Amino acid sequence: MKIQQTIKRNRLGLLFQQGSFGIEKESQRVHADGSVVTTEHPKVFGNRSYHPYIQTDFAESQLELITPPNKKPEDSLRWLSAIHQVVLRSLPENEYIFPLSMPAGLPSADQIKVAQLDNPEDVAYREHLVESYGKNKQMVSGIHYNFQLDAELIRTLFNAQTEYQSAVAFQNDLYLKMAKNFLRYQWILLYLLSATPTVDADYFKDGSPLQLGQYVRSLRSSRYGYVNAPEIVVSFDSVEKYVETLEHWVASGKLIAEKEFYSNVRLRGAKKARELLQNGIQYLEFRLFDLNPFEPYGIGLKDAEFIRYFVLLMIWLDETADQQGVELGKARLAEVAFEHPLSQTAYRQEGEEILNRLLAMLNEINAPTEIVDIVTEKLAQFADPAQTLCGRLVQAIEQAGGYQQLGAELAQRYKAQAFERFYALTAFDNMELSTQALLFDLIQKGIKTEILDENDQFLCLQFGDHIEYVKNGNMTSHDSYISPLIMENKVVTKKVLQKAGFNIPQSVEFTSAEQAVASYALFEGRAVVIKPKSTNYGLGITIFQQGVANREDFAKAVEIAFREDKEIMVEDYLVGTEYRFFVLGDETLAVLLRVPANVIGDGEHTVAQLVAMKNDHPLRGDGSRTPLKKIALGDIERLQLKEQGLTVDSVPAKGQSVQLRANSNISTGGDSIDMTDEMHESYKQIAVGITKAMGAAVCGVDLIIPDLTRPAESHLGSWGVIEANFNPMMMMHIFPYAGKSRRLTQNVIKMLFPEIR
């Protein structure tokens, strides 16, 4: 298989670098001191029988976090970050994720609970592992790195050769070459990336093989790690031989199942090895990698890229390791694993040679300079073992006073980091917060999600065969096409709501004062506001809150309005407070009061200081990357202060409410206050009725209500509809400034997938 020649001749460098990447990461849930917990897998993560992102491995305490496959390693790492943020924020307050592969503070064996899976076979398998290896070994964690070559590349390489007749046979041998060469040279990755230099003595059944203070490069990849008995040799010569030898060990009872074969490379693409003969190998799973404790999620992008090009080198090389080479590689791995992390490796020369060949390959395929830099850096680590991951880790353990201490410290730090912007999924920060909140819940509950268009907030959700699309957090198939069109058109909305019998404020426009006054009878006794059609700073507005009492006052108000504009409006004036009702289906899920930007005096600080203090609130920021917006101190706010006889330097009295805006929008620094429990049920029912009249499934209804505690009556004095909004905002309900959080995104999921209990 002369791959590099074909790539060079056909200039396939770009195609060669395509592929698909997925990451599985195991880790232990631990206490604040780093010791493994004995609690059950948290119920909040839904059902493990289908969860695509959050699983358990051997034990209840051992999380397995799985990214979907992505075309770019960086996207897999974004998913890994998002899944971690979901898990860390969902864990009980006193639980953390241990950042090291070797567990610390293990409970006694009888306290370690095997994962409570639904499938009895899965449970039986784990019981068998306990028998064969003991529980402690099973508690070791690592990273599995899945890699698939681009189908076009394989097709093109196959077309460019004459040796193989069968495309499947060619594909199998291509992946086998990658697998065998990987096994031959895996020790290099171990040297550079291993991170299991030590473990507690009580991890070993029969006493620690390490002397006091002895560090090694990788306990996990040594024979004290989670490895098969040395006699279990499986052939990688061909898929046929692989299947044959693997089936032999299972038949002989040395392995309870094929999956007990813990090779650092697994051939993937079939449930049973034998099916590979038919379907061909689809991708490889590389299982060598220790958790990198310096990365919050166990692996960094540079290392993920390094591994990617390293495995590509494994097919680029002209030679293919034979079984002897594979065994040699495994022996070297064991040997290097037991070297001291700060010592030079015995095979430095081979390591440097391979990385130099990798650099040559990068040059041939026009790889990005970033990866050249990464490889160059790794190459230098052969001369300076202290710079290897394990070298640095040993130093950190010494500094921390022990590896459990280091792990506990890092676990706490990473959990705290995950809460810094607790309302966001930082890896997906270029999407709206509401979509991030939805994504959070989808990951938590295990609904398979594909981001179809990040800029457009377009998601594809799947549960079994059931597919749903969501845009902007709550635009779904459950609303009919005509609903947003009705709501978009204020005239039509009014007609529809009026026809359905809801209290709608009326407005009449006039182009002459004479005409307006001639219509006086229309308004007599009604609470109305008279205003110029285009208002500026409230000039020309008269409000008859108690109803128009006489023609003279009305005529005067009309005249005042006409001073500001050629057209005026006489509108029903609704006395009361505006509330936003978030309706989904048959229920008002949340009611919110929006209060104009304000501060409350304390008799000590100036307005400017009070604003700065209020702006320190974690929810406040630019208003797009945060749920609430910082209060500005611009012209409008200063004018508002002036009207209250204040400046930014005034010191308001204790308890004095200082208003900084006339409008109550959240986007101008307003406060959001949840009033769901305070609101009388009758208004919630009205909001549901309005939503139904709009033909909508999800709707934001704005009502003006004078007294939210009194039952609704059927006249404008009791309540009136201001607006019905499609795609209503959710963040202000999910993260209100005050009052209870309403996790509406979960309701959206329930609406879309009622079959999930």
Residues of this chain that bind its own copies (CB under 8 A)? 10-15, 152-153, 156, 366, 452-453, 456, 458, 460, 469-471, 475-486, 489, 491-492, 495-496, 499, 514-515, 517-522, 524, 551, 695, 726
What amino acid is encoded at 649 in this protein?
A: D
What amino acid is encoded at 121 in this protein?
A: E
| Residue closer to its own copies (CB basis): 162 or 536 | 162
- How far is the C-alpha of 139 from the C-alpha of 57, rounded, in Å? 9
What amino acid is encoded at 140 in this protein?
A: V
Angle at 664 between CA 658 and CA 667, to 5 degrees: 105
Q: Provide the H-helix boundaries in 524-622.
A: 551-562, 607-615
Structure token pair of residue 23: 């990451």
| Residue closer to its own copies (CB basis): 494 or 605 | 494
- How far is the C-alpha of 222 from the C-alpha of 197, rounded, in Å? 11
Q: How close are the terminal C-alpha atoms of the chain, in Å?
A: 52
The angle that helices 301-316 and 348-364 make with each other, rounded to 10 degrees, is 90
| Residue closer to its own copies (CB basis): 11 or 272 | 11
Report the nearest approach of its own copies to the CB of residue 470 (Å): 8
Q: Which residue has the tokens 């160059």?
A: 376
- What are the phi and psi torsion angles at 233 (to 5°)? -110, 125
Report the nearest approach of its own copies to the CB of residue 573 (Å): 18
- How far is the C-alpha of 572 from the C-alpha of 504, rounded, in Å? 9
Report the nearest approach of its own copies to the CB of residue 527 (Å): 16
| Residue closer to its own copies (CB basis): 482 or 653 | 482
- How far is the C-alpha of 588 from the C-alpha of 685, rounded, in Å? 7
Report the nearest approach of its own copies to the CB of residue 109 (Å): 47
| Residue closer to its own copies (CB basis): 240 or 454 | 454
Contact 466, 753 (CB under 8 A): yes
Report the nearest approach of its own copies to the CB of residue 312 (Å): 15
Written as one string, the DSSP assignment of 353-369 is HHHHHHHHHHHHTT--H
| Residue closer to its own copies (CB basis): 551 or 740 | 551
| Residue closer to its own copies (CB basis): 303 or 479 | 479
- Residue 635 makes CB contacts below 8 A (sequence gap 6+) with none
| Residue closer to its own copies (CB basis): 33 or 559 | 559
Torsion, Cα 536 537 542 546, to 10 degrees, reads 130
| Residue closer to its own copies (CB basis): 456 or 681 | 456
Report the nearest approach of its own copies to the CB of residue 219 (Å): 44
- What are the phi and psi torsion angles at 469 (to 5°)? -110, 145
Contact 54, 65 (CB under 8 A): yes
| Residue closer to its own copies (CB basis): 522 or 738 | 522
Q: Provide the H-helix boundaries in 194-300.
A: 239-251, 275-279
- How far is the C-alpha of 470 from the C-alpha of 435, rounded, in Å? 9
Angle at 191 between CA 186 and CA 197, to 5 degrees: 120
Contact 109, 257 (CB under 8 A): no
Report the nearest approach of its own copies to the CB of residue 533 (Å): 18
Report the nearest approach of its own copies to the CB of residue 714 (Å): 17
What is the chain's length?
A: 757
| Residue closer to its own copies (CB basis): 520 or 753 | 520
| Residue closer to its own copies (CB basis): 118 or 450 | 450
Report the nearest approach of its own copies to the CB of residue 178 (Å): 20
- Sheet-wide strand order for 466-471: 448-453, 458-463, 466-471
Contact 427, 79 (CB under 8 A): yes
Report the nearest approach of its own copies to the CB of residue 18 (Å): 9
- How far is the C-alpha of 489 from the C-alpha of 602, rounded, in Å? 46
Q: Which of 255, 277, 278, 258 is nearest to 266 (CA)?
A: 258
> How far is residue 496 CA from its own chain's centroid?
40
| Residue closer to its own copies (CB basis): 452 or 549 | 452
Report the nearest approach of its own copies to the CB of residue 362 (Å): 14
| Residue closer to its own copies (CB basis): 319 or 453 | 453
Report the nearest approach of its own copies to the CB of residue 479 (Å): 4
Report the nearest approach of its own copies to the CB of residue 498 (Å): 11
Angle at 109 between CA 107 and CA 112, to 5 degrees: 65
Report the nearest approach of its own copies to the CB of residue 165 (Å): 20
